Structure 1
Amino acid sequence: MFDFGSKTYIMGILNLTPDSFSDGGEYFQKDEAVERAKKMVAQGADIIDIGAESTRPGSEKVSAAEELRRLTPVLNKLVAEIGVPISVDTYKAEVAKEVLGLGVDIINDVRGLQWDEDMAQVIAEYDVPVVAMYNGRFCNDRGDIIGSIKNFLRKSIDLAKGAGVKEKNIILDPGIGFGISAEESMEIVRRLSELKGLGHPLLLGTSRKSMLGEILDLPPKERVEGTVATTVMGIMHGVDIVRVHDIKENLRAAQVTDAIFRK
Structure 2
Amino acid sequence: MTKQNTQYFANPAGHPPQTDLLTDRAIVTEAYTVIPRGVMRDIVTSVLPDWEDTRVWILNRPVAGGATTFAQYLMEVAPGGGSAKPEAQSTVEGFIFVVDGELSVTIEGENRVLAPGGFAYAPAGSQWQVKNDGGAAAKFHWIRKAYQALEGYTAKPVFGNEQDLEPNPMPGTDNKWRTTRMLPVDDLAYDMHINIVTFEPGASIPFAETHVMEHGLYVLEGKAVYRLNEDWVEVQEGDYMSLRAFCPQACYAGGPSNFRYLLYKDVNRQIVL
Both structures adopt the same fold (TM-score exceeding 0.5): no
Q: Give the structure with the larger helix fraction.
A: 1
TM-score using structure 1 length: 0.34
TM-score using structure 2 length: 0.33
